[in-house]
Amino acid sequence: MVANDHVDFDLREGEIHGLLGENGAGKTTLMKILYGLYQPDEGYILLRGKRFTSNSPKEAIRNGIGFVQQHFSLVPSFDAVENVMIGLKSAGLFSQNVEEVRSKIAELSEKYGLKVDSQTKIWQLSVGEQQRVEIIKALCMGTRALILDEPTSVLTPQETVKLFETLRLMVKQGFSIVFITHKLEEVMSVADRITVLRAGKVVFTCNKDETNKAELARMMVGREVIFRPEREELGKGKVILEVKDLHALNDKGLEALRGVSLYVRQGEILGIAGVAGNGQSELAEVITGLRKASGGKVFLKGQDITGCSPRERIDLGLAHIPEDRVNIGLVTSMSVLENLILKNYRSSDFNRGLFIDRQAVEHFCDRLISSFNIMTPARDTPVKLLSGGNQQRLLLAREISASPEVLVAVHPTSGLDVGATEYIQRMLLEQRRRGVAILLISEDLDEIMALSDRIAVMYQGKIVGTVEAKAAQREEVGLMMAGGK
């Protein structure tokens, strides 16, 4: 697939250049080429007017290009100083003067408002802090042009504001910054110039002052976008899903849930907001039976299901859109058909004795493929050949076709383009109208605000507050996400 199609992109000294585009538009690919991780098939790069071939990150770093990727490249068991030292060219962990590096970190941290604790191991730091360590590391390596890939996706609104202040300070010192995002508000608030990528092509470049959000959105998607999904008011139903004082451990054996209580009514969407890693994933897993609760209870339709297997919960009407659709929700090496029956292959409609009734299954699949508009060459196509949006449609089709009473949806639109996002959100609202109780966990605060009836905020394994979505203020929710209330 062509990820970048004859892209022209320029970065000036002392500017923040927002690189805007939907997921899959080719933003990250473009920056990976600059950083020497990928090689272009055609075209070239000029650095300060000179032809520059970037064969490896090493070369890019030597030429002052730094890249903070979405997944950090820090050693979790090292502290900040040690991590910076690995990156330094003179290398050799023993030859470096540790104190020199430490004071350098302190100086940079002071200068640009990058608060870090240089003595704590990386894995004990918050994600925001880790990101600051990444930036400092890049600066220590002599970066002049810094690329940040979706830096705000792991930050609270407050941390985002802080980051933007840091970036402004850096630009004043003559740094250049490429800021990759798909969030319009962010480019509008921090960028000097903006380039929009769509399907691998540059569709638009201009100064921030010459454009507006609506225009950028149109450029990004290629058509007008409705920002707020239609959401009608429904009467209050009875409580279907209830969680009482839930405790659970995470994979490392640390307490991830520390007494979570919540309920979801029929025809209601309860949004769970929170910065990633505050127990949301574990909450979903405990409710769906994939993780054991170490304390507390889960009730479905008034029945205690705390000890039930995933199968029993599915049979009681619990559907689940998991966080990691590729590794948990789907068997990507198997066909569309085999994935559509993943949960109901035992149903009596599909079975004749020990055998699966292929005809009945095909009939069922064709119905879902057409009613959910799943774009697939054939029902026997392996799911890994489908686009992310179609994979999610497939998953949603399967979960909804079981007519669930409770739906746990975790990051249902993450990684999807605007069109697919809109579709998935519409489907969620339709399920709400049908009377399904929906627990929506998302890192996208806008999504939570737009879809939910009530919003509960998770912080360090607890619900720190619940607000009516209608009355909710972004800042208020953001403050709770940071634990500040």
Partner 1 sequence: MQRLRLRLVERPSPSLYLKLLISASSVLLALLLGAVFLVTSGVNPLMAYGKLFLGAFGSRFGLIETVVKATPLMLAGLGVALAFRCSFFNIGAEGQLYMGAFAATWAAYAFSELDAAFLLPFMLLLGFLGGGFWGMIPGVLKVKLRVNEIITTLMMNYIAILWVTHMLVGPWMYEGFPWSPIITEAARLPNLAGSRLHVGIFFALIAAVLIYLMLMKTRLGYEIRVVGANIKAARYAGISIFKTIIPAVIISGGLAGIAGMVQVSAIHYRIMPGLSPGYGYTAVVVALLGKLHPIGVIASSIFFGGLLVGADMMQRAVGIPVALVNIIESLVLLLIVAGEFLIRYRVSFERGG
* Sole binder of partner 1 in the list 310, 317, 419, 483 (CB under 8 A): 310
Tell me whether residue 169 or residue 356 sits nearer to partner 1 (CB atom). 356
- Closest to partner 1 by CB, 62 vs 384, is 384
Position 306 contacts partner 1 (CB under 8 A) = no
Single-letter amino acid, residue 229: P
**Site size with partner 1, rule: CB under 8 A:** 35
Minimum distance between the CB of residue 414 and partner 1, rounded to whole angstroms? 17
- Residue 405 sits at φ, ψ, to 5 deg, of -105, -25
Tell me which stretch binds partner 1 (CB under 8 A): 26-34, 256-264, 325-333, 371-379. 325-333
Under rule CB under 8 A, residue 356 binds partner 1: yes
Looking only at residues 134 through 163 of this chain, which bind partner 1 when binding is defined by CB under 8 A? none
Instruction: Kindly state whether residue 355 participates in binding partner 1, applying the rule CB under 8 A.
Output: yes
To partner 1, the closest distance from the beta carbon of 127 in angstroms equals 24
- What is the closest distance, in whole angstroms, from the C-beta atom of residue 314 to partner 1 in the complex? 5
- Is residue 282 a contact point for partner 1 (CB under 8 A)? no
Q: Decide: 462 and 259 in contact? Cβ < 8 Å.
A: yes
Task: Give the residue, chosen from 21, 24, 322, 478, that forms a contact with partner 1 under the rule CB under 8 A.
Answer: 322
Q: How far is the CB of 381 from partner 1 (least distance, A)?
A: 8
* 3-class DSSP string for the chain: CCCCCCCCCCCCCCCEEEEEECCCCCHHHHHHHHCCCCCCCCCCEEECCEEECCCCHHHHHHCCEEEECCCCCCCCCCEHHHHHHHHCCCCCCCCCCHHHHHHHHHHHHHHHCCCCCCCCEHHHCCHHHHHHHHHHHHHHCCCCEEEEECHHHHCCHHHHHHHHHHHHHHHHCCCEEEEEECCHHHHHHHCCEEEEEECCEEEEEEEHHHCCHHHHHHHHHCCCCCCCCCCCCCCCCCEEEEEEEEEEECCCCCEEEEEEEEEEECCCEEEEECCCCCCHHHHHHHHHCCCCCCEEEEEECCEECCCCCHHHHHHCCEEEECCCHHHHHCCCCCEHHHHHCCCCCCCHHHEECCEECHHHHHHHHHHHHHHCCCCCCCCCCEHHHCCHHHHHHHHHHHHHHCCCCEEEEECCCCCCCHHHHHHHHHHHHHHHHCCCEEEEECCCHHHHHHHCCEEEEEECCEEEEEEEHHHCCHHHHHHHHCCCC
Over the window 334 to 353, marking each residue x when it contacts partner 1 by CB under 8 A and - when it does not, the resulting string is x---x---xx-xx----x--
Q: With binding defined as CB under 8 A, does residue 24 bind partner 1?
A: no
Window 31 to 60, contacts with partner 1 (CB under 8 A): 39, 53, 55
Range 65-124, binding partner 1 (CB under 8 A): none
Binding mask 358-387 for partner 1 (x = CB under 8 A): x-----------------------x-xx--
Q: Mask of contacts with partner 1, 195-234, x by CB under 8 A?
A: ----------------------------------------
Smaller CB separation from partner 1, 167 or 409: 409
- Choice between 17 and 313, CB closer to partner 1: 313
- Rule CB under 8 A: say whether 412 interacts with partner 1: no
Which of 4, 181, 266, 288 binds partner 1 (CB under 8 A)? It is 288
Is 324 or 366 the residue whose CB approaches partner 1 more closely?
324
Residues near partner 1 (CB under 8 A) are 39, 53, 55, 288, 290, 309-315, 320, 322, 327-334, 338, 342-343, 345-346, 351, 354-356, 358, 382, 384-385
